[in-house]
Structure 1
Amino acid sequence: MAAAMLRITLFSDLYLWDVQAGLRPYLIAFGVLLGLLGVLAAAWARAAREGDGYADGNAHPDEGAHGHAHSHTAGPRLASSRPPVSALQLFPPPALGPYSAAREDAQRAAVGVGTFPALPPGDPVDLSVAAFGSRAVYDSGRSLQGRTVRLTGFVTHGDGGTWYVTRLLVSCCAADATTNKVRVRSADAPATDTWVTVTGIWHPTGKPGSAAAGPPVLDATTVRQVEEPSDPYEKR
């Protein structure tokens, strides 16, 4: 387990599928601690086996005379944990995706309606899916009005041929992930779980804070398939 943890934190970005980048030093420290405990446990077990062997030699002085040799063990050996650890290194669990997003399809209650800071000048402006959704649903100042934005996420499908560019937002780790998604119009739907960058213009759908305001809608001008990022989650 220690080797697997150090491998995914020191030599790859796989740990980003489960926790934020800021937790990397703690994972490394924990991996080192596990390794040290493993070394100590192995040394203790070896010393115990050698002690058992010495005790057996003194307990049966007549074994040589009768031609017998007795094997003494302290009990059943524990099965090695190496196969499952090796499996973790060879086949790491995937990042959360469309299945996790589908569990949160119910619209969350509208909170925090108010004005947002102005967007930076120049189009298109790159926004996270979460930031776009917050402005589209809660910004009474309509800072998205008339602006061209660019969003990146994975594709999820809805009813009636609708589709969404979707991202998962984490505070600490994958266990607390929440879903943000933007409905895309005026473009054919890519396959589910495809990563895309969508450029387009916000399409208002209702009064800020109302149920009609969400999920937010983007009228797409371009949809481009991209590689999944090494860190697939958006951060709070």
Structure 2
Amino acid sequence: MAAVRDRFQALLFVLMGAAVLRISLLSELYLRYVKEGLRPLLIATGVVLLLLGLAAAVREARGYAQPHGGGEGHDHAHGPRVGWLLYVPAVMLLLFAPPALGSYTAARDEVQADSLAGTFPALPDTDPLPLSVRDFSSRAVYDTERSLRDRTVRISGFVTPGDDGRWYLSRLLIQCCAADAGVLKVEVYGAQAPAADTWVVVTGIWQPTGPAGSDAARPALNATAVEEIPEPADPYRDTAPAAERD
């Protein structure tokens, strides 16, 4: 039983270590799950797991090579079958990395609110004006000076379907990892909704919905153009479209 357990643990450590290194060292897939600053910790974790697995395998191989007197020491017992299920997430992460959170999460989470009604810094004269979804949403809902009035803006995010044919341009923001994601959504008028989870840049004009800071105020945009774009490498980093393309 002990020999089977040791082999099981060794292989599991190797698979887990290889999977973590695959998404953090050999690619940027880790950005689907955690913030960029955690990459060194992920790489270190993957290396430690891989070394532990290799060390356990070497130790087991040496023990198996030792002669066993009188047939003692041979272990043909099998570990609990349910234990093999532990391999599933390691193999899946190694072969098929799950996608980032998308419209399913955005449609069910409450919208983040992190501003108070008041004045905001002046905007540049750029036309159209690239803005992050957070900046656009904050100004649309809380800016008492209405700095977005009659301005053509460009914002980017993924498509979230709503009720009654409505749709939203959404962003998910994380503090540490995907488990703590919060959502920002801008309702889009005047354009047909692309498929759910499609990443787009929407160009349009702010649509006022209520007094600044009131319950009626919400981010909304009258679209003049909707352009599909590839999913960014870091889907949780809310940037203006121009910065995202660089």
State, as a whole percentage, how many aligned pairs show the same letter.
54
Does residue 217 of structure 2 align to residue 219 of structure 1? Answer: no
Please give the residue correspondences for 1:28-67 in structure 2 after superposition, counting only pairs within 5 Å.
Answer: 28-50=43-65, 53-54=66-67, 56-57=68-69, 60=70
Letter in 1 for 2:93: L
Whether the 8 Å contact between 1:110 and 1:211 is mirrored in structure 2 is no
Name the counterpart of 1:76: 78
Determine whether 1:128 maps to 2:132. Answer: yes
Task: Tell which structure's C-alpha radius of gyration is larger.
Answer: 1
Deviations 1:49-97 (A, max 9, x none): 34xx53x32xx3xxxxxxxx67721743576666653332221111101
Mind listing any 5+ residue stretches in structure 2 that lack a counterpart?
A: 1-15, 240-246
Count of aligned positions: 221
Give SS of 2:116's match. Answer: coil
Amino acid at match of 2:99: P
C-alpha displacement of 1:20: 1.2
Looking at structure 1, the residues matched to 180 and 124 of structure 2 have their Cα atoms a distance apart, in angstroms, of 30
Aligned residue in 2 for 1:116: 120
* C-alpha distance in 1 between matches for 2:166 and 2:199: 16
Following TM superposition, where does structure 1 have runs of at least 4 consecutive aligned residues deviating by more than 4 angstroms?
77-84, 106-111
Whole-Å separation in 1 of the counterparts to 2:185 and 2:35? 20
Q: 1:88 aligns with which of 93, 99, 117?
A: 93
Distance 1:109 1:148, change over 3 A: closer
Q: What is the 5 A alignment of 1:1-236? A: 1-50=16-65, 53-54=66-67, 56-57=68-69, 60=70, 72-73=74-75, 75-77=77-79, 84-104=89-109, 106=110, 111-214=115-218, 216-234=219-237
> Taking structure 1 as reference, are residues 204 and 141 closer, same or farther at Cα in structure 2, changes over 3 Å only?
same
Q: Which amino acid aligns with 1:100?
A: T
